[in-house]
Structure 1
Amino acid sequence: MHLTLLIPELLWPEPGDPLAFDGLACPSLETWLGRSRLERSPPRPLEAILARQLGLTENGLAACRLQGETNAPQAADRQWFCADPVHLKFHHDRIILGDASLLALEAAEVEALLASLNATFPDLGRFHAPHPRRWYLEAAADLELPPLPPLSAASGRQLGSLMPESPRFSRLMNELQMLLHDHPVNRAREARRQPTANGLWLWGGGALAAPAATRIERLGADDPLARGMARHLGLISEPAPATLADWPPGPGRQALILLEHLLAPTLIEDSEAWRDAMARLERDWFAPLAAALGKSIARLDLISPTAFGVLHWEIRASDRWKLWRRTPPLAALTRQLALSPENMP
């Protein structure tokens, strides 16, 4: 089997952070990285990498994610946008975008916010929320919005650096923010010192791409976008396994597994949680892979979008004999990548 592991944030973005790297032991991962071939490319969002791996374009990501959310196929002539709630906060006179993972919105809060949005902005279409953190806009037929990056690529960044040059769109975003900021739900949350859902992030719009040919035959993922892509393409789709042992040989010679253990700790800048998640990956995935390569797995591709670009290691069974090749510890590798703007061998 040819296995591709897509693991966002495999390297902590701060090379000198002792809370991330001190005491972190990943001998299996470091061994395989040292004996593999590394291709480094410019940064790209996780969603774009996932689409490319499955032979899709970045059009219609919202419709794909909704399909993975509800299991219902979306009409090809209907346009959807992800309309995810966000928390906008001031930091050094700048507005920083935070995702909805910190909001913990209650169902009644979501219902009240959506009711106000749908009553105030009927010209946009209709808002839906099958999940408290993932909202959607069923767009009006004539609605045109400039593209925004996925929320995974926007979280933690300055709002002004993300916005397109469109006064009309900026005005719309401001109107949405004013409605949400003054909403009774957010006033009550502010009184309880909870983060407020004071903005929406509209991304992933476009016509749903026609199913394309893809080398992947089997997908393991919990992310609704990945599940929706698999359903759109007619692939075998399963939940992401907890360990390599939970991914038994099955149909399909080409498999892709999305492991998101490191993503949430990175987005909330929790280096200790990232280190703990990395230790679990070493135990449950990287160490077992050492025994599986050359047996049940003939080739492994390890792909990770990071602060240092998209890192793609290609590992073949024969690489286990390259005993002369050494890899520095992850902290040292991270420092090397941070200092080098170009590809590394």
Structure 2
Amino acid sequence: MSQLTVVLPFALPAPEFAKELARSLNTPALAALLSRTSSHTVHPYDFAVRALPHEVWLARELGLEQAGQPAFAAAAMRGFGLDPREGTWFIVSPAHIEIARSHLMMPDLRHLQLSEAESRALFDAAVPYAEESGHHLAYGDAHTWFLRADSWAGMDTATPDTAVGMNLTDYMPAGPHALAYRKLQNEIQMLWYTDAVNAARESRRQPPVNAFWLWSGATTVLNTVVPAQAGTHAESPKSGSGPFIATFETTSWLKALGTRNLASPSEVLNITGNSLLICGNAAAPAIAADWSGWLHEMQRFEADLFVPLLAALSQGRIKQLKLVLSNRTAHTETTTTALAQRKFWRRPTLERLL
């Protein structure tokens, strides 16, 4: 493999805990990959974009930006086997919104535990309301739906992980048609309030699905050239078609952007050609500030990813490795090669996690 890029959302610890967490890590392979490098850059968060640093990086890398905003909807639809055709499509995430002391907040959607049967029932109930408003709903999977709303093109939205745990007032869709969005949201909220699915969920002490989160709109036109590396489900990359995209323990919309979902991150080493691997398993504990869980996931990375990557570099199986690590406020890009790993005078440390 000539080049491998590995994207690790939330592998950078929160700045206020970074020193203590780095001291608790036993990850010598990661230290070598981060210390013996040919380049290293730190990119601060762009507050003008309501998406997390790794999401912005992915949108730019895959050519899925519109008006400077991540626009994943159309590519994710294709990954689910849906045809967005022309129009403006948004990702719709079924959600639970709760009232905190002084504001509305949305817990991490990874913990919603929404089954396919439940999601289908709620989706089917919402379809007539969407159509009455002049919009079309399409079903991807239990956690990922899509809404066509051509008149809402350009609406400023936030990704779910950006809004999780925050005051939702600051992250609600904004723009000239935000009122129309809120009207549809309210109608569907009232519909779901008495739905049998939510009654059954509450009887099991599960949070009701009482809202939907609209985000990452993309406008498409017929005969638009689709970025070849996004949303294709070929088994291997074609010449000149961009990197092979592999995913590991990511959310379903990210899996839809990829070519193959891996059982272990080290399986990426069996892929020939330029590859991009996205690993999502550190996100949930970091978002929850569960630093014990985060340390556990980082140790999994050490055994299942960093050690095999370091060996592959040393053996010449990878010519160039780029690591993209992020937290809420920044992302780093670190490039290393077999030659860089021979810089024995550079002591391996985890200082670049700080």
Number of the residue aligned with 1:52: 60
1:162 and 2:171 aligned:
yes
> How many angstroms apart in 2 are the aligned matches of 1:173 and 1:318?
55
1:263 and 2:274 aligned:
no
1:282 and 2:302 aligned:
yes
1:211 and 2:219 aligned:
no
Q: How does 1:64-79 map onto structure 2 within 5 Å? A: 64-70=75-81, 72=82, 74-79=83-88
> How many angstroms apart in 2 are the aligned matches of 1:177 and 1:326?
56
The 8 Å contact of residues 34 and 349 in structure 2, kept in 1 or not, is answered as: no
Number of the residue aligned with 2:269: 247
**Letter in structure 2 aligned against 1:306:** N
Query: Would the alpha carbon gap of residues 146 and 249 (structure 1) be closer, same or farther in structure 2, given more than 3 Å must change?
Result: closer
> How many angstroms apart in 2 are the aligned matches of 1:217 and 1:83?
27
The 8 Å contact of residues 28 and 348 in structure 2, kept in 1 or not, is answered as: no
Fraction of identical pairs, as percent:
26
Deviation at 1:91, TM superposition (A): 2.3
Structure 2 residues not aligned, in runs of 5+ = 46-50, 230-239
**Letter in structure 2 aligned against 1:302:** L
The 8 Å contact of residues 60 and 80 in structure 1, kept in 2 or not, is answered as: no
> Of 192, 195, 199, which residue of structure 2 is paired with 1:180?
192
The 8 Å contact of residues 29 and 302 in structure 2, kept in 1 or not, is answered as: yes
Render the CA deviation track for 1:83-129: whole Å, top value 9, x for unaligned.
11111122231211224322212334323322331233321423333
Deviation at 1:312, TM superposition (A): 0.9
Q: TM-score, normalised by structure 2?
A: 0.79
RMSD: 3.0
> Of 126, 131, 155, which residue of structure 2 is paired with 1:117?
126
Render the CA deviation track for 1:291-331: whole Å, top value 9, x for unaligned.
221511111110123123011111122222323333544xx
> How many angstroms apart in 2 are the aligned matches of 1:60 and 1:18?
35
1:293 match: secondary structure = helix
Q: Which moved more, 1:270-279 or 1:186-195?
A: 186-195
The 8 Å contact of residues 89 and 150 in structure 2, kept in 1 or not, is answered as: no
The 8 Å contact of residues 97 and 157 in structure 1, kept in 2 or not, is answered as: yes
The 8 Å contact of residues 97 and 154 in structure 1, kept in 2 or not, is answered as: yes
Render the CA deviation track for 1:224-282: whole Å, top value 9, x for unaligned.
5456546xxxxxx33336143662252x2x22111222123223433222211111110
**Letter in structure 2 aligned against 1:267:** I
> How many angstroms apart in 1 are the aligned matches of 2:24 and 2:143?
34
Structure 1 residues not aligned, in runs of 5+ = 231-236, 337-345
Matched residue count = 322
> How many angstroms apart in 1 are the aligned matches of 2:324 and 2:293?
21
Query: Would the alpha carbon gap of residues 115 and 105 (structure 1) be closer, same or farther in structure 2, given more than 3 Å must change?
Result: same
The 8 Å contact of residues 56 and 211 in structure 1, kept in 2 or not, is answered as: no
After TM superposition, the runs of 4+ consecutive aligned structure 1 residues lying more than 6 A away are: none
The 8 Å contact of residues 64 and 225 in structure 1, kept in 2 or not, is answered as: no
2:219 match: secondary structure = coil
**Letter in structure 2 aligned against 1:309:** A
The 8 Å contact of residues 59 and 71 in structure 2, kept in 1 or not, is answered as: no
**Letter in structure 2 aligned against 1:128:** A
> How many angstroms apart in 2 are the aligned matches of 1:206 and 1:289?
35
**Letter in structure 1 aligned against 2:121:** A
1:272 and 2:270 aligned:
no
Number of the residue aligned with 1:82: 91
> How many angstroms apart in 2 are the aligned matches of 1:142 and 1:301?
40
The 8 Å contact of residues 218 and 255 in structure 1, kept in 2 or not, is answered as: yes
Number of the residue aligned with 1:342: none
> How many angstroms apart in 2 are the aligned matches of 1:25 and 1:204?
37
Q: How does 1:313-324 map onto structure 2 within 5 Å? A: 313-324=334-345
Number of the residue aligned with 1:189: 201
> How many angstroms apart in 2 are the aligned matches of 1:151 and 1:327?
36
Q: TM-score, normalised by structure 1?
A: 0.80
1:221 and 2:247 aligned:
yes
1:273 match: secondary structure = helix
1:207 match: secondary structure = strand
